Structure 1
Amino acid sequence: MTDAGVQVESMRVAFDGVTALRDVSLAVESGEFFTLVGPSGCGKTTMLRAIAGLTDGAEGTVAIDGRDVTDAPPEERNVGMVFQNYALFPHMSVRENVAYGLRFHELADKSEDDRVAELLELVDLGGVADRSPEQLSGGQQQRIALARALAPEPDVLLLDEPLSALDAKLRKRLRVQLQTIQRELDITTIYVTHDQAEALALSDRVAVMHEGRVEQVAVPETVYRDPTSRFVAEFVGDNNLFDGRVTDDGASVAVDGATLPLPAGTAASPGESVTVAVRPEAIAVDDGDEAGADGTTLAATVETVEFLGDAYRVHCRWQGRRIECKTTAANPPAGRVTLRFDAADAQLL
């Protein structure tokens, strides 16, 4: 497998006067599992198709393995793509579907039959070669589409929400298998999803997209723990956002009559409007109704409790606003409670 990286510079795409990508630049490293995540309509699939050469009217440059492919047609870019609907041919057998990926490519060191057999074993479907796609489950079809995309030994693998049509349990199982295959082949992979948990679980790095722009590119832990914008903080996982003003001493934030500490290691000017973000799992819920004097605790009232299996989501009301907490305690408290969090667990946006 040839090592490859992907470099996109100043990509702009518009459809019928609507701008889908706004001067987006990305650099994906060789062998990296890179994910584009964002809500519907943010431009992530448009970006994937622009890299593949499937978008008309794209402005910008694309390089793969240091080779400028901006003007190259899709078949000359040496990319493999798995679409959301898999696009398997119903009139062909599984074996023929996988072999179709070799139609315009010659293998230097093995026969077509050997390559197909190798890929079917890789995706753990060696026993279904003679079946038609209609005889397979959704998860099996997804793996056949992956095998077909990998058949010509592409430099880059592009995956457009390939798990979106599957049930939650199967998605979790297949994303582990997908990650294992990607690591085994060491192939540069760009993955598109709107599922934040999926993006965090699979990726070496994540690009969060919004309205045709990239809001943040970082490793999953950084995107989750240190978002660079309000949008990222709200979109990636759950968050509690407190809007307020920095106090005169510059050490805390005044929010709805309470004083919250500034997150550790951050600085802001007195009087500046800021937002403090605190993840639900960082807020402890204790019995009682007395707020502490240091501003790290809030007296609140529990409204509802959701059982999640491995934890409880506790919805509380404080100063007219809802605060979401998450606890693994066997019996979360009800009624009047005290919410506690450390300044080190807060983020300044």
Structure 2
Amino acid sequence: MEYRYLGNSGLKISEITYGNWLTHGSQVENDVATQCVRAALDAGISTFDTADTYANTAAETVLGDALKGERRESLEIFTKVYWPTGPGGKNDTGLSRKHIMASIDGSLRRLQTDYVDLYQAHRYDVETPLEETMQAFADLVRQGKALYIGVSEWTAEQIREGVRLSRELGFQIVSNQPQYSMLWRVIEPQVVPTCEKLGLSQVVFSPIAQGVLTGKYQPGQPPPAGSRATDEKGGAHFVRRFMRDDVLEAVQRLRPVADEAGLTLAQLAVAWVLQNPNVATALVGASRPGQVSENVKAAGVRLESAALERIDEALGDVVERDPRRTAELAPKGRVA
């Protein structure tokens, strides 16, 4: 495992972060989830990402139990706030001061820790003044409940304004957590240059494009039984945008590149996002310990420029690059 700085901070995190979206507390039994966390620790992963909304808070509880007994100073624990939790009342969502203050205390209790290393705004809240949100984050940093602040899927303009306010309030936003993969590059034109200028790193999710970049989905064939694309409760709608024959055919053209690099397609996909110098870490999940062991082999891989060019040629115009997609997919109001 190799480690990188998070933004312009002095915090080092593992190149591969273990994330438990769509798995812990829902798809995977708790004992298997614990085995996956142990496999991550054994592989040198020190950074763990979750959110209060995952499995309606259950994912944080499972992660807290799995990490119990580990030296806290050796771990970096990330969580998030925005999406609905609990019964979904009028203030159980968003980035109001009330929701943030209640959410951090719940997250710390479930994670069995006094602080989180990174507390992230899971989306931008169009219904709350940004000044209110930033003041709440500043207070959490001063209280020691969150060491650093990040955002997730914010536009370049939103990031600029958030950073401006954070600096006025005496703390720093150090990261953005966007979707990013060979197939989904919408952050490259605007978000990445903005973050490079302002000192933020990318903490990227879905580097394998919800499993599509593993090559397991074949053009013209139904999805394998039990795969995410068949699970309407487990993220099938996230995969759907990639389940086109032209995309699946392009992914199959990546096999020779992966073979020559001595990598699986999944490892190639994770290694690819880590070639971007603005990416601090790639989030990977797992439903069994073996997946963790395989994914970490992407850490430390350096792809030659010729390989990167061949990847671009293989994928061609199936890659989504439009920076407007971040705003288009953002919530237009709080979701209850």
TM-score (norm 1): 0.30
**Higher-helix-fraction structure:** 2
Higher strand share: 1
When Rg is computed on C-alpha atoms for both structures, the one with the higher figure is 1
